[in-house]
């Protein structure tokens, strides 16, 4: 079914425009404390976030998020590679990792607060503790699942262990690692917000919660919109980076020209996300969601 | 997950012993570490008691009605949220996934809503619900709907077109096709979605309880934390972890049982599970 370019554009835009219009229209002269007029939210958005609180709240949040996420990714990949290469360690650690990643990550907040303290460090530690699991488990799985013939071949060519890891094992495991890192991204975002909702003095989570506590409803909505926008930008950034880094993989698998089977034409981020979204069972272990898709 | 298979016949017996021993060893080492670390000062003794003390508190705790009340509060909200998320996510996903107009219509909206960290909604939900249980249910529904929606979308898009055309050629009606072609073909996707959503919903329910103080397991943790009852706090966190584990393994088992006929579940997946 082909549809004109303009027709598609209209279909794409109808619902968002209608929803925003509906919101704007129904809230226009809303007297309810809980449902402030959209115009007031937009004013508040400009007032607070362009750019008064960018330096004081947005940047610290993003800094902690970036630090925590990167530490989690590096730790997860490094540890995951080691464990994935040692079958005995893998089996020995399985029940423990299985349990630890089942703990709802936000409940690690009190642990982090009493053990690490109240500063930046505890927020970063929380992000690491929550988002390391998807990366770790996917890396273990990916490394463990590397085709044994490929490994035998590398060995018979006399390739050293280190080169095997960097040139054979990690590339072969990278699709799985990428899935884990994508899941970890949303977990890290959530924990960034959560960590700022308790015992904090700045950040996005702190700002929305304190706006709510002082019954600044428009400010609350504005803060939520900013958090949503951060989530959107971070996710799009990740998809773009992933698509770029993993393009060799899609090339190797002949996926580059694969027409998306799902509806939704085009080859943009959406189709890439789709192509990357593995079939249900390929993802099995990683549990795209323990914490995963908490998006 | 092709586990085993590699060792020859000689190694098989040893392999089986290892399969039991290694996990036990892993757990033992971890518990020992959590026992020793606070005692030798690797973890602060005052805020992280040795595991044996946490465990004693836990055994006392499981005999209290208080704990089970909190667990029930949590599970109640979790079950409701999962049911609502399924009722919204699956039909919507099937509808969106099966026609191009629906996909285009909803695309930007979904793409925009999905990356919003669900916990960002907490302040708005507090405005609306205060500390009533509806808060955590709504929060969990928001988070748990997306995995189901997407799995249903992928599932319906993955239905074999030949099967669909054949069914149509045989004159099967809309309902028959849905019942015999679409649903069985989507089932594994939806089952995976359910398992993911079940975990997500539990996490969000507990989060709502912890951050806002809605009665339940999370709120108990919050109270224990703010009153400095750290053994109790860790014991409760362990309970939450066990709950998470049970939900996770339970849905895994159901998935495997229900879908044993499906090709994706048939092969010798045997491994570690």
Residues B35 and B58 placed together within one structural domain of the fold: no
Q: Does B112 touch chain A (CB under 8 A)?
A: yes
In a domain, B156, yes or no: yes
Query: A186-218: per-residue pLDDT in tens?
Result: 999 999 999 999 888 999 999 999 999 898 899
Asked if residue A294 has pLDDT above 50, the reply is: no
The secondary structure element, H or E, covering residue B150 is helix B134-157
Residue A139 has pLDDT above 70, yes or no: yes
| Of A33, A109, A294, Cβ closest to residue B118 | A294
CA distance A10 to chain B (A): 9
Residue A76 has pLDDT above 90, yes or no: yes
The C-alpha R_g of chain A, in whole angstroms, comes to 22
B260 reaches A (C-beta below 8 A): no
pLDDT tens-digit map of A27-61 = 888 878 788 999 999 999 998 888 788 888 999 99
- Record the pTM: 0.85
**In this structure, are B129 and B251 located in the same domain?**
yes
Category of A279 on φ-ψ map: left (φ > 0), alpha (ψ -120 to 50) or beta? beta
Shared-domain flag, residues B140 and B35? no
pLDDT digits (tens, 9 = 90+) for A161-181: 888 899 899 999 999 999 999
Residue B263: per-residue pLDDT: 65
- Which structural domain, as residue segments, surrounds residue A228? 32-276
Residue whose C-alpha is closest to residue B18's, from A87, A117, A201: A87
Structural contact between residues A274 and A264, judged by C-beta atoms closer than 8 angstroms: yes
**Are A84 and A140 within 8 A, CB to CB?**
yes
B window 216-245, beta carbon within 8 A of A: 218, 221-222, 224-225, 230, 233-234, 237, 240-242, 244-245
What is the tally of structural domains in chain A?
Answer: 1
Classify residue A13: in a domain, yes or no: no
Nearest by CB: B203 against A208, A223, A294: A294
Q: What is the pLDDT of residue A237?
A: 93
Residue B234 lies in a domain: yes
Q: B137 vs chain A: nearest CA distance in angstroms? A: 14
One domain for residues B19 and B147: no
Q: How far is A163 from chain B (nearest CA, A)?
A: 24
Residue of A nearest to B119 (CA): A190
Count how many domains chain B has. 2
Residue B161: predicted pLDDT? 84
Q: Is B147 in the same domain as B20?
A: no
Is the Cβ pair A227, B116 closer than 8 Å? yes
User: B47 in a domain, yes or no?
Assistant: no
CB of B267 within 8 A of CB of B256?
Answer: no
CATH number at residue B137: 1.10.3720.10
A235 with B115: Cβ contact below 8 A: yes
B110 touches chain A (CB under 8 A): no
Q: Are A291 and A183 in contact (CB under 8 A)?
A: yes
CA dist., res. A241 & res. A258, Å (int)? 20
**Best residue in B116, B185, B266 to probe A by mutation, most A CBs within 10 Å?**
B116
For residue A137, give how far its alpha carbon lies from the nearest alpha carbon of chain B (Å): 12
The token duo for B165 is: 């055309």
The answer to whether the Cα torsion of A23, B117, A278, A100 is positive or negative is negative
With contact defined as beta carbons under 8 Å apart, do A124 and A112 qualify?
A: no
Whether B113 and B173 share a structural domain: yes
Nearest CA in chain A to B19: A91
B125 domain-assigned: yes
User: How much is the mean pLDDT over chain A?
Assistant: 83
Question: For the segment A97-128, what is each residue's pLDDT rounded down to a tens digit?
Answer: 999 999 999 999 999 999 998 889 999 999 99
User: Can you give the pLDDT at residue A151?
Assistant: 87
Same domain? B111 vs B71 = yes
Alpha-carbon span A88 to B78, nearest angstrom: 36
B49 in any annotated domain:
no
pLDDT average, residue stretch A243-262: 65
Asked if residue B221 belongs to a domain, the reply is: yes
Test B272 with A287 for CB contact under 8 angstroms: no
Q: Which CATH number characterizes residue A233's domain?
A: 1.10.3720.10
Contact A186 B203 (CB under 8 A): no
- The pLDDT, as a whole number, for residue A276 is 42
Range of the domain at B17: 1-40
Residue-by-residue DSSP string for A74-119: HHHHHHHHHHHH-HHHHHHHHHHHHHHTTS-GGGHHHHHHHHT-SS
Residue A256 falls inside a structural domain: yes
Question: Are B176 and B135 part of one and the same domain?
Answer: yes
Is A230 within a domain?
yes
B119 touches chain A (CB under 8 A): yes
B2 and B97 co-located in one domain:
no
Distances (CA, A) of A126 to A21, A69, A188, B75, B203: 39, 10, 9, 25, 15
* In a domain? residue A294: no
A71 in a domain, yes or no? yes
Question: From CA B209, how far away is CA A55, in angstroms rounded?
Answer: 31
A294: which chain B residues are within 8 Å (Cβ-Cβ)? 117-118, 143, 200, 203-204
Q: Which residue has the higher pLDDT, B83 or A279?
A: B83
Q: Which stretches of chain B drop beneath a pLDDT of 70?
A: 1-10, 262-273
- Is B227 a member of any domain? yes
pLDDT at B114: 85
Tell the residue number behind the tokens 């303009």, with chain if given: A6
Q: Which residue has the tokens 């600044």?
A: A216
Contact status of A165 with chain B (Cβ, < 8 Å): no
User: Residue A263 and residue B96: Cβ atoms within 8 Å?
Assistant: yes
CA distance A253 to A272: 14
B89 located within any domain: yes
- Which of A 96-155 lie inside 8 A of B, CB atoms? 96, 98-100, 102-111, 113-115, 141, 144-145, 148
Provide, rounded to the nearest whole percent, the portion of chain A with pLDDT above 90. Answer: 53
Residue B26 to residue A243: CA distance in whole angstroms: 37
CA distance B168 to chain A (A): 18
Q: Which of residues 122-181 of B touch A (CB under 8 A)?
A: 122-124, 126-128, 143, 146-147, 150-151, 153-155, 157-158
Residue A115 placed within a domain: yes
**Minimal CA separation from A161 to chain B, in Å:** 20
In the numeric block, the tokens 């925009």 are attached to B112
Residues B12 and B108 in one domain: no
Token readout for B148 is 């189901």
- Note whether B60 and B186 are same-domain residues: yes
Cβ of B210 within 8 Å of Cβ of A107? The answer is yes
Residue B78 distance to chain A (closest CA, Å): 13
Q: What is the pLDDT of residue A48?
A: 86
Residue B17: per-residue pLDDT: 85
Task: Count the neighbouring beta carbons within 10 Å of the beta carbon of residue A141.
Answer: 22
- On whether both B7 and B114 belong to a single domain, the answer is no
The alpha carbon torsion through A110, A113, A119, A121 (nearest 10 deg) reads: -90
Token output for B58: 């836990």
Interface contact A294, partner B, CB < 8 A: yes
- Is A11 domain-assigned? no
> In terms of residues, how long is chain A?
295
């Amino acid at each position: 079914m082909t549809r004109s370019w303009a027709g598609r554009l209209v279909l794409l835009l109808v619902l968002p425009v209608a929803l925003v219009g509906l919101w704007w229209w129904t809230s226009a002269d809303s007297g309810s404390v809980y449902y402030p007029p959209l115009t007031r939210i937009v004013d508040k958005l400009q007032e607070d976030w362009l750019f008064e609180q960018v330096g004081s709240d947005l940047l610290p949040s993003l800094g902690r998020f970036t630090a925590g996420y990167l530490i989690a990714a590096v730790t997860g990949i490094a540890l995951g590679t080691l464990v994935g290469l040692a079958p005995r360690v893998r089996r020995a650690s399985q029940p423990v990792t299985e349990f630890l990643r089942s703990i709802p990550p936000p409940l690690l907040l009190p642990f982090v607060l009493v053990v690490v303290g109240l500063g930046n460090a505890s927020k970063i530690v929380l992000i690491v503790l929550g988002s390391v699991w998807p990366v770790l488990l996917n890396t273990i799985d990916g490394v463990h699942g590397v085709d044994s013939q490929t490994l035998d071949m590398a060995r018979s060519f006399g390739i050293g262990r280190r080169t095997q890891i960097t040139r054979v094992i990690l590339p072969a495991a990278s699709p799985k690692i990428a899935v884990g890192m994508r899941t970890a991204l949303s977990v890290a975002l959530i924990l960034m917000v959560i960590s700022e909702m308790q015992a904090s003095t700045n950040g996005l989570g702190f700002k929305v919660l304190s706006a709510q506590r002082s019954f600044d409803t428009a400010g609350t909505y504005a803060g939520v919109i900013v958090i949503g926008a951060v989530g959107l930008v971070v996710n799009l950034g990740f998809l773009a980076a992933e698509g770029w880094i993993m393009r060799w993989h899609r090339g190797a698998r002949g996926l580059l020209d694969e027409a998306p089977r799902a509806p939704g034409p085009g080859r943009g981020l959406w189709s890439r996300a789709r192509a990357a979204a593995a079939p249900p069972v390929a993802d099995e272990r990683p549990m795209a969601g323990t914490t995963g898709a908490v998006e | 997950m092709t586990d085993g298979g590699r060792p020859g016949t000689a190694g098989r017996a040893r392999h089986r012993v290892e399969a039991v021993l290694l996990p036990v060893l892993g757990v033992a080492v971890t518990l020992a570490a959590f026992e020793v670390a606070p005692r030798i000062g690797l973890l602060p003794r005052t805020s992280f008691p040795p595991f044996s003390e946490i465990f004693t508190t836990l055994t006392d705790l499981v005999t209290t009605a208080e704990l089970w009340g909190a667990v029930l509060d949590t599970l109640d909200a979790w079950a409701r949220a999962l049911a609502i998320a399924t009722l919204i996510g699956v039909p919507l996903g099937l509808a969106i996934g099966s026609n191009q107009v629906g996909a285009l219509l909803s695309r930007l909206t979904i793409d925009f809503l999905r990356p919003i960290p669900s916990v960002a909604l907490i302040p708005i939900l507090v405005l609306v619900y205060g500390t009533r249980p509806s808060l955590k249910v709504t929060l969990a529904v928001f988070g748990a709907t997306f995995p189901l929606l997407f799995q249903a979308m992928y599932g319906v898009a993955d239905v074999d077109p030949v099967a669909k055309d054949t069914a149509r050629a045989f004159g099967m009606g809309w309902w028959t096709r849905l019942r015999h072609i679409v649903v069985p073909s989507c089932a594994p996707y939806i089952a995976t979605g359910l398992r993911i959503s079940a975990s997500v919903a539990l996490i969000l329910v507990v989060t709502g309880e912890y951050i806002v103080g809605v009665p339940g397991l999370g709120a108990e943790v919050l109270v224990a934390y703010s009153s400095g009852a750290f053994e109790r706090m860790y014991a409760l966190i362990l309970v939450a972890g066990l709950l998470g584990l049970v939900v996770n393994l339970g849905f895994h088992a159901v998935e495997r049982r229900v879908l044993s006929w499906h090709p994706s579940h048939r092969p010798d997946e045997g491994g570690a599970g």
